């Protein structure tokens, strides 16, 4: 059994950014437990080894509650100062890109790649993105099933701090739902509704304004993720085209 896991990065800047993100999450998103960071090298980070499995559909409710708690804690601790439409600097170092620019660029790239049928579809997605960029700021860390490790005793560890951006509350929950469906197949609509309710309750414990993500808003986030994740179908364990499966279950729209 190994005691450590080492992750290599292409550049020192990428490794340093991941270490800063890790430290920020440890400080401001305490409910999101992470493996101990044991060594920082020029282009590598070494972590405590966690013997655990990746997330499954049956973990959704627990992970949604955990994520809502972490987003609420981070907002109360630090991100109440942030705005979604501008990068956020912490201690004079920019840690979080603002919500829209990187996703707008990705949507335009999806048109070039053929994942959007025409410029009208692109315009619709850009309009949806613009409407989504409102409300309190949470963090986005790509909550897909592989970025969680769940031990035999049920302890949840969050891994991979390579990229953090600002995002609206509920956006990272939508990414988790979308990628669970892409990995494991359909999730029943009542289970999605329960996950959203659990997320909202957990976030609202930190401030009532944080627990207001509606099913319609979650559906808008899911529509954005459908396009943004389209190139990865058939890769990284994504066996299902989640939008097709999601429509079959008549989930939120």
Length of the chain: 253
The answer to whether residue 136 is domain-embedded is yes
By C-alpha distance, which of 202, 209, 122 is closest to 168?
209
Residues 243 and 78: their CA atoms lie apart, in Å, by 34
- What CATH number does the domain containing 214 carry? 3.90.1200
The answer to whether residue 94 is domain-embedded is yes
Q: Note down the domain range covering 204.
A: 53-248
The answer to whether residue 232 is domain-embedded is yes
The answer to whether residue 62 is domain-embedded is yes
The answer to whether residue 207 is domain-embedded is yes
The answer to whether residue 179 is domain-embedded is yes
The answer to whether residue 78 is domain-embedded is yes
Residues ≥6 apart with Cβ < 8 Å to 89: 95
- 152-211 pLDDT tens trace: 999 999 999 888 899 999 999 999 999 999 999 999 999 999 999 999 999 999 999 999
The answer to whether residue 28 is domain-embedded is no
Structural domains of the chain, count: 1
Q: pTM of the entire structure? A: 0.92
- 116-136 pLDDT tens trace: 999 999 999 999 999 999 999
């Amino acid at each position: 059994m190994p005691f450590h896991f080492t992750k290599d990065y292409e550049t020192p800047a990428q490794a340093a950014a991941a270490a800063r993100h890790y430290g920020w999450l440890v400080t401001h998103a305490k409910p999101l437990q992470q493996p101990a960071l044991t060594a920082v090298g020029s282009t590598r980070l070494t972590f405590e080894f966690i013997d655990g499995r990746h997330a499954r559909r049956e973990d959704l409710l627990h992970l949604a509650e955990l994520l809502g708690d972490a987003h609420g804690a981070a907002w109360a601790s630090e991100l109440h100062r942030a705005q979604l439409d501008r990068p956020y600097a912490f201690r004079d170092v920019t840690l979080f890109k603002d919500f829209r620019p990187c996703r707008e660029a990705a949507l335009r790239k999806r048109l070039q790649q053929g994942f959007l049928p025409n410029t009208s579809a692109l315009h619709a997605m850009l309009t949806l993105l613009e409407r989504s960029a409102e409300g309190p700021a949470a963090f986005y860390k790509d909550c897909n099933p592989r970025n969680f490790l769940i031990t035999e005793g049920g302890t949840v560890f969050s891994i991979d701090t390579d990229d953090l951006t600002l995002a609206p509350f509920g956006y990272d929950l939508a990414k988790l739902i979308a990628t669970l469906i892409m990995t494991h197949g359909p999730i029943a609509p009542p289970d999605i509704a329960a996950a959203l309710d659990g997320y909202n309750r957990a976030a609202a414990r930190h401030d009532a304004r944080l627990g207001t993500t509606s099913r319609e808003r979650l559906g808008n986030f899911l529509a954005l993720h459908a396009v943004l994740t389209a190139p990865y179908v058939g890769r990284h364990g994504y066996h299902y085209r989640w939008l097709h499966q999601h429509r079959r279950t008549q989930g939120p729209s």
